[in-house]
Structure 1
Amino acid sequence: MPDRPMSASQFPSTSGEEPPNLSMSVWPTGQRDLATQLRDADCVRGTDTDIDLIPPAIAAQAIATYSLPGDLVLDPDCGAGVVLVKALQAGRHALGLTTSSGWWTLARANITATKAAGAWRDGSVLDAYPTLLATIRAAGLVGRVGLVLTALRTPADDPGEHAVGPDRDPTVAIDELAATLAYCEPLLRSGGHLVVVARPRRNADGSLVDLTTPLIAAGTSAGLAPVDRCIALIAGLRGSRLVTRASLADRRAVARARANGAPVALPAHHEVLVFQLAHDAELAAAAAEGRWPTKHKTATRSAVNGVDYLGWRRAA
């Protein structure tokens, strides 16, 4: 693993190139509004102030689909800790990292409340940057994480006031995420998954920002292979109709955008991109086609602090 992971911007798509043809699925995860989801998950007061949180229904769907009971679920930028709560409630172990004292307090409170309610698996949150995962102190996690589940987060200096209106350029956030994914890749066990959830971002003219292409580039630059793309609804389904469940802040942002001449719609979904270790994805594709890879070799990743862990040796 390189000491300085390359950013997604260093892996631009060829002009006109389409993202990989991934299987697409739609998750009906918006049948209840966010406030109800947080209440039913017994999240503590203040959790809803995390504007980039993964809604509990989406976190639960990802955990149920891409991990097994007893797995370790890691969120390297956990915010208020919703992923940790849903992991514990689903019978998984949970580990989160954050450098915000406010988020640490909320995440810790959420873990405590969840365990007090009967979730007996191990859960913890560390006051640390994701770079901790690339040090010798994280050696015990190498090859043991069943699921990395995290959100594309707004940079710390972005107040995030416009949940629906124009957003700042997400390039910085994507580059930071690309580095984090590189730190997480050696930690995945064979058969594990890495899932990134991103709320919609908009350009100044109200059009949606293409997050799929740079996020796939970020995962690929970390040595991962994209395997699924999902649309996780935050709007309810009523027959063939979508019923928006936007917050008051979202509705006000839409009103401001329209008053400024940018007719935008209320958000109805989050983007979910799923990755696996490149070798696991290759084997899965070979099995689906009824063949077996004919060439095998061992690739050794760069050591951290002069130590080369066996968990970093991947067949390719």
Structure 2
Amino acid sequence: MNAAPHTPGPDDVPVSVWTTAQSSPAAQRKNKYTPESTAHPAKMLPEIVRHAVTHYTKPGDLVLDPMCGIGTTLVEAVRLGRRALGVEYEPHWVQVTQANLDLARHQGHDADAQVFQGDARQLLTLLPARYVGQVALVVTSPPYGPSTHGQVAVAPGEGVQKYHHLYGNTLDRGNLANIGHHRLLAGFTRILTALRTFLRPGGHVAITIRPWREHAELIDLPAQILACGRAAGLIPVERNVALLARANDTDLVARGSFFQRDFIRKQRDAGLPLHLIAHEDVLVFRAPLHPTPNTHAAAHRHRTVQPALQGLAA
């Protein structure tokens, strides 16, 4: 019996594999980021940014990250001859991003780049009106809540101590990483909706994300973020795999952190046959080719409200 022909559905989008971990994260960042950058709990892999910027933009285009952390998106964009724009909630990481951009300029990469401090949910009042409709590509990743990343130290008699593994002050409810899973999704949808005002027609949004386990239960965050993008009026065009493991001729060589390996060992000891994470999902959306009435309205509000707020501040 012949199988019935497959009818493409709403989740049938092109998939490709990005070999973005042929060198280690430390090697990718060497001489391009300040020592203070290592303390961030969840740094984006530079090669993921470089792949996205190379494939979805041209030199001189504007690249944006509304939650830029240490500025990986901005740094890699300017080093590829693009303009860059970032927003970061925590003032310390704004300073680190600026230092990383200064380092790039000192090394001869003098592209236009700027970082703003503030809550990405307030993009329409944070970013100047000159950026409306100008962004060719957004590369970003939502915070994962309590991070499984970080660094370790071993002290005699104290065992393994974990540090640099949390986002800011855990009592700060303005930080998306500290507000709970469902509120995180609502906040991220709000950010994606605001991004449509700044994206040029047909501009792309690349979001790196991975599932995680909570009490051994798999949380399919990529599927949830896909729904957030659709709710924001963006069009899914690709769902890719960015490798976190080195690919050789026959297999993958995992680069799991101490915490990931420790977690896997404990889960296997408990009878759950887990494996190290070897990739991140990269969801790619496209802005509509023709702005909708809602997008026009948001842009108009931005052009009128933001100058008024600047006037009040003056």
Relative to 1, partners in 2 of residues 1:203 and 1:84: Cα closer, same or farther, differing over 3 Å? Answer: same
- Equivalent pair of 2:42/2:149 in contact (CA under 8 Å): no
- Equivalent pair of 1:77/1:150 in contact (CA under 8 Å): yes
- Equivalent pair of 1:19/1:216 in contact (CA under 8 Å): no
Q: TM-score, normalised by structure 1?
A: 0.77
SS at match of 1:52: coil
- Equivalent pair of 1:302/1:308 in contact (CA under 8 Å): no
After TM superposition, give the deviation of residue 107 of structure 1 in Å: 1.0
Q: Is 1:129 matched up with 2:139?
A: no
Relative to 1, partners in 2 of residues 1:190 and 1:279: Cα closer, same or farther, differing over 3 Å? Answer: closer
Q: Is 1:88 matched up with 2:98?
A: no
Unaligned 5+ runs, structure 2: 1-8, 152-176, 304-314
Counterpart-to-counterpart distance in 1, 2:150 and 2:96: 23
Among 242, 249, 252, the residue aligned to 1:239:
249
Pairing 1:274-293 to 2, within 5 Å after superposition: 274-279=284-289
> Which amino acid in the other structure matches residue 226 of structure 2?
I
Q: Is 1:25 matched up with 2:35?
A: no
Counterpart-to-counterpart distance in 2, 1:74 and 1:105: 17
SS at match of 1:307: helix
Relative to 1, partners in 2 of residues 1:308 and 1:251: Cα closer, same or farther, differing over 3 Å? Answer: closer
Deviations 1:277-309 (A, max 9, x none): 1336xxxxxxxxxxxxxxxx9635473597386
Counterpart-to-counterpart distance in 2, 1:160 and 1:19: 32
Unaligned 5+ runs, structure 1: 1-17, 281-296, 310-316
- Equivalent pair of 2:202/2:288 in contact (CA under 8 Å): no
Among 35, 47, 60, the residue aligned to 1:70:
60
Relative to 1, partners in 2 of residues 1:59 and 1:161: Cα closer, same or farther, differing over 3 Å? Answer: closer
Question: How many residues in Structure 1 have an aligned counterpart in Structure 2?
Answer: 270
Q: TM-score, normalised by structure 2?
A: 0.77
Pairing 1:272-311 to 2, within 5 Å after superposition: 272-279=282-289, 299-301=293-295, 303-304=297-298, 307=301
Relative to 1, partners in 2 of residues 1:112 and 1:137: Cα closer, same or farther, differing over 3 Å? Answer: closer
Deviations 1:124-176 (A, max 9, x none): 21111113421385321111011111012134xx354599xxx9974333322
Does 1 or 2 have the higher relative contact order (CA < 8 Å, sep 6+)? 1
Relative to 1, partners in 2 of residues 1:227 and 1:118: Cα closer, same or farther, differing over 3 Å? Answer: same
> Which amino acid in the other structure matches residue 44 of structure 1?
T
User: What RMSD, in angstroms, separates the aligned Cα atoms of the two structures?
Assistant: 2.8
Counterpart-to-counterpart distance in 2, 1:199 and 1:242: 18
Percent identity over the alignment is: 32
> Which amino acid in the other structure matches residue 230 of structure 2?
T
Pairing 1:43-192 to 2, within 5 Å after superposition: 43-135=33-125, 138-155=128-145, 158-160=146-148, 170-192=181-203
After TM superposition, give the deviation of residue 245 of structure 1 in Å: 1.2
Q: Is 1:201 matched up with 2:234?
A: no
> Which amino acid in the other structure matches residue 274 of structure 1?
V
Match of 1:219 in 2: 229
SS at match of 1:68: coil
Among 240, 250, 270, the residue aligned to 1:230:
240
- Equivalent pair of 2:66/2:140 in contact (CA under 8 Å): yes
Match of 1:9 in 2: none
After TM superposition, give the deviation of residue 33 of structure 1 in Å: 1.3
